[in-house]
Structure 1
């Protein structure tokens, strides 16, 4: 540990000791616990996905104590994967950490080199350009780094961000909004025909185009569309459960209520 590090971070030694403790516990569990010994990268995969979404929930809830706990769970998974890989003589935690450190240094030439970057957009553009060069002479798509299994909404946003990183983007938000209006009209046109003649495949494609353009506009005005939608999901959940709870308390069965009766409770829920 350098003298500068200890001066700027008085808990550096404590952090290193805690990480060493986790590595030690992981070694012990892998050697002694029947469940931990049985796990593979494949068996851990779905658990890691679940833990990631739990972290996402705690972030949206603004619950710092839960965020701390979920970060710990994800750190455990990182150590677990590295331990399994070390048993295969593939790599270990040192390789993992040195690899990401090397990548960060390489992709921040404005910090560790002589490149000038004074704003966020330049930094992101440099990042994407460096990534493209990392395959040497092999051609590489800007979009290769977007995981195939990402949820579609997040995938759309990440592809748009990466395309912007190499200059493929609109100049003004009015242009993006015009595109939204264009896609909305094209989607609407699909439903101006006889309902029995609607081409569901084309309608689905136009709806996808509309969603993509809305995501693009949200990104352009610095709104995270996935986060915005999830907050709306949570709001709907809270209000609908209020509707269920209060109507039940009034002796009503939701299945027998009219839409007008439900709207009464819905409006009350909006005031909470």
Structure 2
């Protein structure tokens, strides 16, 4: 690593020092001391989603705050690893810095045209996976803990690199219709579970072909539903729960029109 790109520990050391105090076996915080990687992992995932939420709302003060919370998770895991003798926070910083340089030879070094950078990035990642994981599958290394929609998309992208993919959206649409029919024909809870899973997987495939991020699209649909439902409740007031379904459907249409006019 060159002097220009070597990460300095000074900027992050105050946070690292706070984490070391919190984890001190004698004088630290009892809650922080008793945590381990598994107990902290859900908080790490939660903070990543809160970062995404702040970005979606274009709330820069919140984004600054949530990025700090996410950085705290990195410091927390790194401190636990250091105490166990695995690695330090500086190792984490140096490792990711070296990796970014290694994966961008079109920027840092070997004369590859910048427009070929993405292909080079993927080739380097594949070589790294092959060196670290004896699993030779094209699907190796897709983390089990990813959200299901995101993992489905990553599995499909990996498979597509081998040529196993629909040539266009028509095949995907036909597959969705096939899976929907199989949902109709399912005769048991287990069959419903399996067929709905297949249908969702096919819908993610369609999103991928249309270059739509499935997770973001569903988040948008959630937000739209929530906005409309809250307007329905506002219009109906306390009587909302007791209204018949036909009246609720009329309220839904009114809510759609009101929000469209804003």
TM-score range, shorter chain: 0.7 to 0.9
5 Å-filtered alignment, 1:138-149, equals: 138-149=134-145
Deviations 1:87-123 (A, max 9, x none): 1221101111222223223333333335456156524
Q: Distance in 2 between matches of 1:129 and 1:189?
A: 36
Q: TM-score, normalised on structure 1?
A: 0.79
Segment drifting more, 121-130 vs 148-157: 121-130
Going from structure 1 to structure 2, the CA distance change for 1:99 and 1:91 (only over 3 Å counts) comes to same
1:220 to 184, 209, 232: 209
User: Which residue is 1:77 aligned to?
Assistant: 73
Tell me how far apart the structure 2 counterparts of residues 149 and 206 of structure 1 sit (CA, whole Å).
22
Residues in 1 aligned to 2:159 and 2:100: alpha-carbon distance in whole angstroms: 21
Which aligned pairs between 1:1-272 and structure 2 lie closer than 5 A?
A: 17-31=10-24, 32-34=27-29, 35-111=31-107, 112-116=109-113, 118-119=115-116, 122-123=119-120, 125-135=122-132, 138-171=134-167, 175-188=168-181, 191=184, 198=187, 200-248=189-237, 252-270=238-256, 271-272=258-259
Instruction: Sort the Cα spacing of 1:115 and 1:239 in 2 relative to 1 into closer, same or farther, 3 A.
Output: same
Closer, same or farther in 2 for the Cα pair 1:127/1:245, shift >3 Å? farther
CA separation in 1, counterparts of 2:162 and 2:117?
13
Deviations 1:217-271 (A, max 9, x none): 21122210111011111111121122122211xxx52232122211232222212
**Conserved in 2, the CA contact under 8 Å of 1:154 and 1:226?**
yes
CA distance in 1, matches of 2:197, 2:221: 20
Unaligned ranges ≥5, structure 1? 6-11
TM-score by length of 2: 0.81
Cα distance in 2 between the residues matched to 1:99 and 1:28:
24
CA contact (8 A) 1:82 1:91 kept: yes
- Displacement of 1:201 in angstroms is 4.2
Q: Distance in 2 between matches of 1:183 and 1:84?
A: 46
CA distance in 2, matches of 1:202, 1:120: 45
In structure 1, distance between residues paired with 2:41 and 2:177: 39
